Amino acid sequence: MAQKKVYYKQFDIQGSPIPFEIHEGGFPRMRVSMTKETIKISLSNYATLPMKQKFIQWSIDWVAQKFEKEPNLKLRYIPKVYNSGDYLQVGERKYLLQIIETEDSVFKGSLRLGTITLTLFQNADPRERNKAIKTILSRLVAKDFLPYITQKVTEINAQYFKKEIKAVRLKYNHSNWGSCSTDRNINLSTRLLFAPNPVIDYVIVHELAHLYEMNHSDRFWQIVQSVMPDYQKCEKWLKKNGNLCEF
């Protein structure tokens, strides 16, 4: 059986370096898809080198066409670059960033008096470094915002639902904007903090409605609509701009 290989490359598309994840293996056919963080290309070992090169170029052109039709989509694949002295704006809060490079293979951070200090392994792989920065920023901002978000959830629940809630949590979640567990925990993605307040309120209402209906039945949507008659506007905003909500 032919061995599978995975390697990463960046290709310039419309003046920006776009990350590609290239898989080579015994695939019956070659294909390209857009994941949340990279463009994934699957190359078949049964194809000749010219065929593979031609497909990679076709994939690059295909992605460029996608970006032309939906400009915001391109922003998903351009990682944010943070430098000391930059500010991170999350909602109405602004954090000053201080970055310390270290030869120790560690990634850590702290938040004090509006300043986030990041200590980063200077020789880390760029993808590993970027992932670590996002995770640390998310964790620190979540801790800072949790009292505010908990109060929001509590007030909306008291006004419209009047149900028991066990806990409110902020997590760096990409698979959804929020969830409601059978234990009555309301979980919200830290990415939601970049959204306008009405959109945050909608996701909270959505999850609180699950305290009555743990599904997406007609009854569930009737509950949501009774609290937010224009909730569909918020859903459209998330679908159009959700990729902009990122650390």
The pLDDT assigned to 142 comes to: 98
Of 153-162, 173-182, 185-194, 219-228, the range with the lowest mean pLDDT is: 173-182
Judged against a pLDDT cut of 90, whether residue 72 lies above it is answered with no
Cα–Cα distance for residue pair 181/126, rounded to 1 Å: 35
Q: Are strands 115-121 and 93-102 parallel, antiparallel or unpaired?
A: parallel
SS3 readout for 179-227 = EECCCCEEEEEHHHHHCCHHHHHHHHHHHHHCCCCCCCCHHHHHHHHHH
Name beta bridge partners: 100. Answer: 119
* Tens-place pLDDT, residues 115-145: 999 999 999 888 788 889 999 999 999 999 9
Average pLDDT, the chain: 94
The pLDDT assigned to 131 comes to: 87
The pLDDT assigned to 172 comes to: 93
Global pTM reads 0.82
Would you say 246 and 80 are in contact if contact means Cβ atoms under 8 Å apart? yes
Q: Kindly indicate the confidence band of residue 2, based on its pLDDT and cuts at 50, 70 and 90.
A: low
Task: Tell me the three state secondary structure of residue 71.
Answer: helix
| Residue tagged 């109405």 (tokens) | 92
Cα–Cα distance for residue pair 116/108, rounded to 1 Å: 10
Q: Kindly indicate the confidence band of residue 212, based on its pLDDT and cuts at 50, 70 and 90.
A: very high
Q: Regarding the domain with residue range 87-244, which homologous superfamily does it belong to in the CATH classification?
A: Metalloproteases ("zincins"), catalytic domain (3.30.2010.10)
Domain spans of the chain, in order of start: 5-75, 87-244
Question: What is the CA angle 89-151-194, rounded to 5?
Answer: 25
